[in-house]
Copies of this chain bind each other. A is one copy, B any other.
């Protein structure tokens, strides 16, 4: 089986030390890059938003539990495949989160709305390009119900 080996480019620093399923909307995090990436944030301050990729190292995919389930095990939710949900427990447990950029320094980015615990490894930072990332998309009705009061 093919293996892919990655290295963190930095780490999340914030006040969130206990796992939670929602209410990340107002959390502020500082992403501290490794020293070798100094310079790599040049120009990012001109963007309002970025996409943060994290390795959600406290999550974990277990096929018997996660391959097919109801979101948050709620009986009012349909039975769904893991790739039809945004739960943290995906295979490879990579988080993809669009965040608001609050400030940028030489080796740090301060962001709002990152759903990652303190100490989480960061795999990448990308600027949010509406031409790529902003879509008029259709979702099933359960999404609206699940996301009520999420933020």
Contact = CB atoms under 8 A, between A and B. Distances in A.
Interface in A83-116: 83-86, 90-92, 94, 96-98, 109
Contacts of A91: 7, 9, 37, 124
Interface of A: 1-9, 33, 36-37, 39-44, 46-51, 53, 55, 57, 63, 67-68, 78-86, 90-92, 94, 96-98, 109, 121, 123-140, 143, 147, 150
Number of copies of this kind of chain in the complex: 2
Given A6-B3, A36-B63, A49-B137, A42 B92 contact: no
Contacts of A138: 46-49
B139 A92 contact: no
A46 B81 CA distance: 12
B133 A135 contact: yes
Contact of A78 (B43, B51, B83, B94): B43
